Amino acid sequence: MNLFITFEGGEGSGKSIHSRKLHRKLAGLSIPSILIREPGGTPLGDRVRHLLKQSRQISISPIPELMLFNASRSQLVKDVIQPNLKEGKIVICDRYTDSTIAYQSYGRGLDIKIVKIINQIGSQGVAPNLTFLLDVPPEIGLSRKKSGANDRFEKENIIFHRKVRAGFHQMAAEEPLRWFVIDSTLPLREVRNRIWGKVSQLLASYSIDIKNRA
């Protein structure tokens, strides 16, 4: 089995919560899996994450920001994603290349062709089999975030976040077979059930008997 699942969405959409819930569900069924996040997942990635999301001392313009995300991604693909896929594990990633397109192209205004080329280099061609878009209006998503803990992206104005959301919807419309869109304003249990319903269908296509593992 070679299965790569990503979670995408705007700020406060619930990606981190539901990616963790899926990982725990698979672990409970003794299905080998690993949960990672972007940027991060390696010593280099963790440093880049702090620089991109928390640093207040320096200004980062869109092109260096794009390059830093992909430097972190390239290391993550080489050290974590590819080895675990080769071992037959399900890899679950909280954000991946689609976030870069949504934030750096639709949000920041970088040429989408350039962003996709750099993403292709950084990801080394490793693409997800399934992507969940947890969709939430930015006003609601941002209100879910803890006050005082805002990172560089959460502090952007509402117009930026609306552009990011529109970008995610555009990408989902262009690849409907890969994307699965869920209204993240629904109760947590309902969102979780929809995610598991889709994943269980995918596992069945790999001839994995879930019932006998429960």
Q: Which two tokens stand for residue 209?
A: 């008997």
Specify the pTM. 0.94
pLDDT digits (tens, 9 = 90+) for 106-133: 999 999 999 999 999 999 999 999 999 9
Cα–Cα separations (whole angstroms), residue 143 to 11, 13, 28, 103, 157: 9, 10, 32, 19, 13
Instruction: Please determine, for residue 66, whether its predicted confidence score (pLDDT) is greater than 90.
Output: yes
pLDDT digits (tens, 9 = 90+) for 27-64: 999 999 999 999 999 999 999 999 998 766 788 999 99
Q: Tell which CATH classification among 3.40.50.720, 3.20.20.80, 3.40.50.300, 1.20.120.1200 matches the domain 3-213.
A: 3.40.50.300
Characterize the bridge pairing of strands 90-94 and 130-135.
unpaired
Confidence of residue 145 (pLDDT cuts 50, 70, 90): confident
For the chain, the domains span: 3-213
Q: Residue 131 forms beta bridges with which residues? A: 6, 179
CB 109 within 8 A of CB 62: yes
Residue-averaged pLDDT of the chain: 94
CB 51 within 8 A of CB 68: yes
